[in-house]
Amino acid sequence: MPIYLYSMPWSPPCRAVLLLAENLGVEITTRLIDTRSKDHLKPDFVKGNPQHCVPTLDDDGFILWESRAIMGYLVDQYGKDDSLYPKDPKKRALVNQRLYFDIGTLFPRLKQYFVSQTFSPPCRAVALVARTLGLELNDKIVDLFKKEHLEPEFGKINPQRLVPVLDDNGFVLSESRAIMGYLVDQYGKDDSLYPKDPKKRALVDQRLYFDIGTIYQRYVDYLRPVLIFGEPEDVEKLKKIEEALAILEVFLEGKQWVTGGNITIADYTLAVTVSGIELNLKKTVLTNGDHLKPEFLKLNPQHCIPTLDDNGFALWESRAILAYLQSQYGKDESLYPKDPKKRAVVDQRLYFDMGTLYARIGEYYYPIIFQKAQGDPEKFKKLEEAFEFLEKFLTGSAWVAGDKITIADFAVISSVSTAEVVGFHVNTYPNVAKYLAKARKELAGYEDINYAGCLEFKKLMEN
C-alpha cells in the first residue's frame, strides 16, 4: 500500500519529511492539503489527525503527524541503517536535541508565515527526505490564506490543522520531523538517516528538537510580523535568530553534519529551516546567571536547562534526555517502544508538547511571571486550543500515546500540572483532568519531584 503524506510543498516540516524519504529511498504519495481551502478542517482529515496539522503521514493506516516524529519513524521503520537517526543512545540524544531546538525555537519563528507558502521549510524537508528514500509523494496544496486548513475534511485528518500532513494508506501523520522519521523507519533501505543505535538516534532527536524549538521558531517570530502584517523589523528578535545560528555553528564545529560524520534526518530539517536511574542534580539559578558561566557554556553552548552529563556525554532538552535515558538504561522498551509506529506516536506527542502545549503555556504565563505583564487574552485562547487538542488525543486512551505510559507522558504531565498549579482550569477538559488524576496516583515521584517543582513555579508567579 502507498504511503501518503498530507502536506504543502512550501511547508518546511513537509519538505523535511520528503527530503528524508527521498534519501531513504522510500516512495511516498503526497496529498496536498490546501489550508486556504480549509482542507485540514475537513472531517476525513480531522478524524485521522485531531490536531489537523501538516505534515501528516498515513502508512497503511498508521497515522502520524509532527515532522520530527515522522522523520524518526521513517528511519526506524525503513532506513537501511541508522546513520540518519543513530540507535546509539548518546548519538541519538544529540539528534533529538537538535530536533527540539528546531521545533521549539527555530521553526516556530518561521512557521506561521512559511506554512502557507510554497517554500515552507518543513514541507521541503519532508520532500527532501522522501526523495532521498526514493519515495514518490503526491503533494496536495493546503492554502492557509484561503483557510483550507480550517475545513472540516482537513480537521478530520489532522485536528491540529497544520501542514505538512502525511497520509500513508490511511496512516495520517503531521509535523515534518515526525514524518521524516517515519519515512526512514518505514521505507528506508537502512537506518543511516535515522539510526537505531540509542545514542546516535538520541543525537538526531536532540538536533530535531533544537530545530523545532529554537531555530525555526525564532525565524517565525521575526518574519511573521514583517511579512504578514507589514510591521517594522524587531531588532531583538533578529538577535535571537543570530543567537540560534551561533548555537548551530557550535554544533557543527569539526563536523560534516549536525550530529557528526553522517547525514541524518536532523540535517534535513535544520537545512531547510524514568527507569530507576539516580541523577545527580545540579541547581542552575538562571537569575544569577549560572547558565552563562564559562564552565556551563562549555558543557552546553545553548545555555539552557535541563542539561544532562552522563560520564562526559552532555545532552540538553528534556525530551531528548528522556528518550536517551530510556534507550540507554531502560529495563525494557515499554516507555519508548522500538516498534516504529508506536515510537512515532510517542515522538509525535513529545513534539506536540514542546511545539504547542508547553510553548503556549510559556507564551501566556511567562510574561506574567517575569515581566509583571497582564495576561494576553489572545494567547490564552491559543492555550485553550492546545488543551482542546490534548483532550482529543486522550479520547479513548489512558495515556497520551495509548494505553501504556511512555516518556511522552512525563513531558506532557509536567506541562499540564504546571498550567494547573498557576490557575488554568484543567477540569474544563474531562479527559485531561482524568489523565492528570491518573498520573498523580500512578507516576512514581509525582509528588516529591513533579508537584514540588510546580509549587516552585507557582511561587515565581505569586512573587
Cell of 126: 519532508
Residue from 449, 443, 353 nearest 400 by CA: 353
**Verdict on whether the full-model pTM lies above 0.95:** no
280: confidence class by pLDDT, cuts 50, 70, 90: very low
Whether residue 452 is contained in a domain is answered as yes
Q: What residues make up the domain containing 370?
A: 340-462
What is the mean pLDDT of the segment spanning 185-214? 84
Cα gap 30→5, rounded to integer Å: 5
Residue 59's alpha-carbon distances to 40, 168, 169, 224, 258, in angstroms, are: 18, 4, 5, 33, 28
Q: What pLDDT score does 4 carry?
A: 92
Q: Is the pLDDT of residue 153 over 60?
A: yes
The last residue of one of the domains, among 158, 187, 216, is 187
Residue 332's alpha-carbon distances to 107, 275, 341, 342, in angstroms, are: 33, 9, 17, 14
Q: Tell me, what amino acid is at 387?
A: F
CATH code, domain with 380: 1.20.1050.10
Whether residue 97 is contained in a domain is answered as no
Whether residue 320 is contained in a domain is answered as no
Q: What pLDDT score does 395 carry?
A: 92
Q: What pLDDT score does 203 carry?
A: 79
Distance of CA 299 to the CA centre of its chain: 23
Share of the chain above pLDDT 70, in %: 87
pLDDT digits (tens, 9 = 90+) for 402-430: 888 888 888 898 899 989 988 899 999 99
The last residue of one of the domains, among 138, 162, 187, is 187
286: confidence class by pLDDT, cuts 50, 70, 90: low
The last residue of one of the domains, among 136, 165, 187, is 187
Q: What pLDDT score does 378 carry?
A: 93
pLDDT digits (tens, 9 = 90+) for 40-95: 888 888 888 888 888 898 988 888 888 888 888 888 888 888 888 888 877 888 78
Residue 162 near residue 212 (C-beta atoms within 8 A) = no
Residue 213 near residue 354 (C-beta atoms within 8 A) = yes
Residue 384 near residue 391 (C-beta atoms within 8 A) = no
Q: Which residues contact 452 (CB under 8 A, 6 or more apart)?
A: none
Whether residue 290 is contained in a domain is answered as no
Whether residue 165 is contained in a domain is answered as yes
Whether residue 24 is contained in a domain is answered as yes
**What HEC string does 417-432 produce?**
HHHHHCCCCHHHCHHH
Whether residue 262 is contained in a domain is answered as no
Q: Tell me, what amino acid is at 81?
A: D
Domain count, the chain: 2
Whether residue 39 is contained in a domain is answered as yes
